[in-house]
Amino acid sequence: MTGITRREFNALAAGVGVAALTELPRPALAAGPAKIVVIGGGPGGAAVANRLKSADATLDITLIEPKVKYTTCFYSNLYLGGFRTFKSITHDYEGVKKRGITVLTDTATGIDTTAKKVTLAKGPTLTYDRLVVAPGIDFKWDAIEGYSPEAAKIMPHAWQGGPQTWLLKEKLLALPDGGLVVMAVPQNPYRCPPGPYERACMIAHFLKTKKPKARLVLFDAKKTYSKQAVFEEAFNEYYKDIVEINLTNEIDDFSVIKVDAKTGVVTTKAGRTERAALANIIPPQKAGAIAASASLTEGDWCPVNPENFTSTKAKDVYVLGDAAIANEMPKSAYSAVSQAGVVSNDIIADLQGKPRTAGRFRNTCWSMLAPDNSAKIGGDYVPATKDGRAYLEIKDGFISKPDDSAELRRQVNEESADWYQTIIEDLFDEPSQQVTLPNFRNP
Ligand code: FAD
């Protein structure tokens, strides 16, 4: 374990050297403090706001977020499995406000990138010098016949944190023993590539311990998935008679194409149907709606310059987190925070007219497989060129192996819990204490 300061952690997560961060000169703007508007108070948006404020306390930073409390999707599977409380994964913005950031409980309804203005559902129009757009994901509601925001109240996706997470757990608790849970998993790209399989493990653990006659059937639009070898090992070792995983293959396409919320029937493209006592439908995704309405998207997601996450569609606008196209860098909270470090450094350098250096990024995604048993995947990410286009590619990737020792898995599990605590302090708490950070790459 290495004792390091929060500031050092921020630098590490951003993939920049500590010295580089501490040596950043303060912005000196002739026309008063620069106005930074941040849309979205998830890991991406909150981390950018916090980084900028600690780099220069005089910056005028406004964070727009409709929710008063943010429930993290990360660790929400552990809540389903019974390893966390709902309260422990839900956080307010009081700590962010205490850092001197203006937090508006509101929704951005429009962006005028020419006039540099953001309109809000309730509050007055805001002007900005730099805009950061971090709205996370929305769902492609027309992708699965019969699935809609109304149907999601019966067949929760729980792929955005909050009431949906709570609903899925309530439905698990109410499941009759012997009932069938059906999960639908979409094609790439989507938020948190290993998330559905961690969820399958956690639901299976819940069933094993609370509803031993119940079963879980998972339908997957994909042929392969993240950390597949360790998940398969876990399904065999812990949940053999509970979980049935159906991956799409040359013969059968297990994409879920239709659901009936009234009867619970779930239908795959291959023509298989199951009547679920509880269906967890994770639909295909796209960037949060404000991104498309502001013409920041190309297809479903937002193109960015990989060296600093500036939008390729609008000047003085950054897009980061799940909404951005980050190529080989997965859509994760860890990625979003890493991108936030680069974005905030770039904004500061740009405002001061200093040289802007390409960022380095890092990600690690942990997944809990069973009690005291977690696996991880990750790597560093660097801007590169592929087929003549700017691209973020992985360097020095790492991944847990199926035959890792129980002791190593226990350590990875602890490391994951340390990460959760650290990122939450970093995002939502007051910036006072020192944090102790394990070396996430080499347990
Ligand atoms: P979000 O967290 O979605 O935040 C975006 C915010 O923007 C939201 O709070 C939303 O209310 C707000 N917003 C949207 N539109 C507007 C608007 N118009 N105006 C104002 N605000 C707006 N990641 C990990 O790193 N590790 C994990 O272990 C992990 N586990 C996961 C498990 C599950 C089950 C899931 C679903 C995800 C998991 N993730 C994990 C992924 C992680 O949750 C996301 O990648 C991360 O939340 C993305 O951060 P973001 O800031 O881009 O988006």
pLDDT of 35 reads 98
The answer, yes or no, to whether residue 9 has pLDDT greater than 70, is no
Q: What span, in angstroms and rounded, lies between the C-alpha atoms of 282 and 196?
A: 8
The residue nearest atom 22 of ligand 1, judged by CA position, is 40
The residue nearest atom 2 of ligand 1, judged by CA position, is 42
With a 6 A CB cut-off, is 309 part of the ligand 1 pocket? no
Please write the tens of the pLDDT for every residue from 237-280: 999 999 999 999 999 999 999 999 999 999 999 999 999 999 99
Q: What span, in angstroms and rounded, lies between the C-alpha atoms of 214 and 212?
A: 6
pLDDT of 431 reads 63
**Burial class for 289, CB neighbours closer than 10 Å (0-12, 13-18, 19+):** middle
Please write the tens of the pLDDT for every residue from 13-55: 444 433 333 334 444 444 679 999 999 999 999 999 999 999 9
Distance between Cα 80 and ligand 1 center (Å): 18
Length of the chain: 443
Q: What angle do CA 420, 423, 429 make, to 5 degrees?
A: 115
Alpha carbon distances (Å) from 74 to 47, 234, 307: 15, 20, 26
With a 6 A CB cut-off, is 292 part of the ligand 1 pocket? no
Distance between Cα 304 and ligand 1 center (Å): 18
Average pLDDT value for the chain: 92
With a 6 A CB cut-off, is 79 part of the ligand 1 pocket? no
The answer, yes or no, to whether residue 434 has pLDDT greater than 60, is no
pLDDT of 31 reads 60
The answer, yes or no, to whether residue 10 has pLDDT greater than 80, is no
Atom of ligand 1 nearest to the CA of 364: 25
Q: What angle do CA 8, 321, 383 make, to 5 degrees?
A: 75
The answer, yes or no, to whether residue 440 has pLDDT greater than 60, is no
The answer, yes or no, to whether residue 194 has pLDDT greater than 80, is yes
Please write the tens of the pLDDT for every residue from 180-189: 999 999 999 9
Mean pLDDT of the 224-249 span: 98
Share of the chain above pLDDT 70, in %: 90
pLDDT of 21 reads 37
Per CATH, 6-138+286-428 and 141-283 having the same topology is answered: yes
Residues near 100 by beta carbon (within 8 Å), at least 6 away in sequence: 53, 57, 61
pLDDT of 80 reads 98
With a 6 A CB cut-off, is 73 part of the ligand 1 pocket? yes
The answer, yes or no, to whether residue 8 has pLDDT greater than 60, is no
Query: Confidence band (pLDDT; 50, 70, 90) for 432?
Result: low
Please write the tens of the pLDDT for every residue from 92-113: 999 999 999 999 999 999 999 9
The answer, yes or no, to whether residue 433 has pLDDT greater than 60, is no
Q: 85-94, 340-349, 421-430: which has the minimum mean pLDDT? A: 421-430
What are the φ and ψ backbone dihedral angles of 286, each rounded to 5 degrees?
A: -150, 175
With a 6 A CB cut-off, is 318 part of the ligand 1 pocket? no
* Pocket perturbation via mutation, ligand 1, pick of 322, 339, 374 by most ligand atoms within 8 A of CB: 322
Query: Confidence band (pLDDT; 50, 70, 90) for 430?
Result: confident
The answer, yes or no, to whether residue 120 has pLDDT greater than 50, is yes
pLDDT of 16 reads 41
Distance between Cα 32 and ligand 1 center (Å): 33
Q: What CATH fold (topology level) applies to the domain 6-138+286-428?
A: FAD/NAD(P)-binding domain (3.50.50)
Share of the chain above pLDDT 90, in %: 89
**Is the CA virtual torsion 330, 47, 288, 416 positive or negative?**
positive
Ordered by start, the domain boundaries in the chain are: 6-138+286-428, 141-283
With a 6 A CB cut-off, is 340 part of the ligand 1 pocket? no
Q: What CATH fold (topology level) applies to the domain 141-283?
A: FAD/NAD(P)-binding domain (3.50.50)
Atom of ligand 1 nearest to the CA of 423: 25
Which two structure tokens, joined as six digits, stand for 47? 């981390």
The answer, yes or no, to whether residue 443 has pLDDT greater than 80, is no
With a 6 A CB cut-off, is 84 part of the ligand 1 pocket? no
